[in-house]
Amino acid sequence: MNGKRRFVTVDVFTDQRFGGNPLAVILDAVGLTAEQMQAIASEFHYSETTFVLPPRDPGHCAQVRIFTATKEVPFAGHPNIGTAIVLARAAEAAGAPLPERLQFEEAAGLVPLRLLRSGAAIAGAELTAPERLSVGASVTSADAAACLCLAPHDIQAAHHAPQVLSVGLAFLVVELRSREALALARPDAAAHQRVLPAIGTDSVYAYVRDEDAGHLHARMFAPLDACPEDPATGSAAGATIALLAALLPGLDADRSWHIEQGVDMGRPSRILGRTEKRGGLLQAVHVAGNAVQVMSGLL
């Protein structure tokens, strides 16, 4: 790896430093190999690190590659939100502001984003999931409970079974019966290894509904991907609200969602969601949040 590379870190899905989900954005990724990108992501050891490259299509904003500490992934939520905000603020500082709507080229497809402002300042961004909701394998309540070190009666399966969902990245999504059960949950790596690879994922996203059905509390565990717990998981939140919106009885509905995550690990995060449903079919899923810069420097 020749030369110096600029990086910026931001905390995403929060407006407070040291909350939310940290992200490293490598701004000068041209010439880096996939192996070098993986080594850099492993060095930061955040849940994800992004690498910004020139777009293949000049009509798009950038090509963005996303790496966890152990592998490349096709799409993720907080890396898109954070990267859009970093690029927009950098462009404005250089006197070349980006348009309010961006498109990132990623392995899962094109990811449209809309910048969100507080007054004149860029405060956040909203993404549109690159894929329609896909519903994969389901598991028993006993297996889901084992992955979370809970009892089978803590699993709420009346609305949907513990099931693999994706709008670009797959998670086993599990509804729990109570906020108390969510607070007690922790990952069992042996159960994850036994249950998850066979159904095409390495992560469990557990959530519980508040009295307001559009308000969720969530946690995400991925010890098989070197992430014991994730403070905020936009891609899993998007898949979950996509399923919940699809299950709603109305044929035509726009719905807003509010997801709190990271509270139990001391990094509170706030994820905002929107779903659009027409003719009984889900048309689009949007995930939004703020971000604050923490560090910048050179590799």
What is the total residue count of the chain?
A: 299
Q: For residue 219, which of 180, 190, 182 has the smallest C-alpha distance?
A: 182
Residues 190, 191, 192: CA angle, nearest 5 degrees? 90
Classify burial at 59, counting beta carbons within 10 Å of its beta carbon; exposed 0-12, middle 13-18, buried 19 or more: exposed
* Residue in the structure block whose two tokens are 């990245």: 169
pLDDT at 211: 82
pLDDT at 75: 98
- Percent above pLDDT 90 for the chain: 94
Q: What is the CATH number of domain 6-129+290-298?
A: 3.10.310.10
Residues 216-243 as b/e (b if ≥16 CB within 10 A, e otherwise) read bbbbbbbbbbebebbbbbbbbbbbbbbb
Token pair for 78: 């907080």
pLDDT at 97: 83
- Tell me the pLDDT tens digit for each residue of 257-289: 999 999 999 999 999 999 999 999 999 999 999
Instruction: Tell me if domain 6-129+290-298 and domain 134-287 are identical in fold.
Output: yes
- The predicted model gives 5-13 an average pLDDT of 97
Classify burial at 178, counting beta carbons within 10 Å of its beta carbon; exposed 0-12, middle 13-18, buried 19 or more: exposed
Nearest 5°: phi and psi at 35?
-65, -40
Q: What is the Cα–Cα distance from 20 to 78, expressed in whole angstroms?
A: 9
Q: H or E segment at 275? A: strand 269-278
Classify burial at 292, counting beta carbons within 10 Å of its beta carbon; exposed 0-12, middle 13-18, buried 19 or more: middle
- Tell me the pLDDT tens digit for each residue of 131-166: 999 999 999 999 999 999 999 999 999 999 999 999
Token pair for 226: 């070197």
Is 48 catalytic? The answer is yes
- Architecture of the CATH domain 134-287: Roll (3.10)
- Tell me the pLDDT tens digit for each residue of 39-81: 999 999 999 999 999 999 999 999 999 999 999 999 999 999 9
List Cβ neighbours of 63 (8 Å cut-off, separation of 6 or more): 52, 53, 54, 55, 56, 104, 105, 106
Nearest 5°: phi and psi at 59?
-80, -10
- The predicted model gives 173-191 an average pLDDT of 98
| E strands present in 87-194 | 101-106, 109-118, 121-128, 134-138, 163-166, 170-175
The catalytically annotated residue of 35, 48, 72, 211 is 48
Distance of CA 174 to CAs 154, 220, 254, Å?
A: 10, 10, 24
- The predicted model gives 102-113 an average pLDDT of 97
Q: In the chain, what are the domain boundaries?
A: 6-129+290-298, 134-287
Q: Is the pLDDT of residue 1 over 90?
A: no
Half-sphere exposure of 185 toward its Cβ, with a 13 Å CA cutoff?
A: 36
- The predicted model gives 75-103 an average pLDDT of 95
Q: How distant is the alpha carbon of residue 237 from its chain centre?
A: 7
